Amino acid sequence: MERQQLYAQIPNELLGAFYNYIKKNMDKGIHIELMEKEIEFIKLEAENRGIPLMQLKKLGAGFVDKELDLMNKSM
């Protein structure tokens, strides 16, 4: 499955979480060239869905917060 097809099938929150994760790695200098391509795929998918980038980032952060909360409750 192509990356673009994968990104087209996942929910907005997970798409945002991927975006945030990749940007964080880029800020650390990890595989910047490869990550830039992934960011472009994600931006294109967000644009296709009509989601502004800032909203996508917030959705991703909220998704991660919910998952962390669920993990903490199960411990």
As a whole number of Å, the CA-based R_g of the chain is 13
Q: Give yes or no for residue 1 having a pLDDT over 70.
A: no
Model pLDDT, residue 14: 94
Q: At what angle do helices 12-27 and 32-49 cross, to 10 degrees?
A: 150
**Token pair in block for residue 55:** 């909203």
> Which pLDDT tens digit goes with each residue over 17-37?
999 999 998 998 888 888 999
Helix (H, G, I), strand (E, B) or coil at 75: coil
CB 8 within 8 A of CB 58: no
Q: Give yes or no for residue 3 having a pLDDT over 80.
A: no
Domain around 58: 3-74
> Which pLDDT tens digit goes with each residue over 34-68?
899 999 999 999 999 999 999 999 999 988 877 77
Domain count, the chain: 1
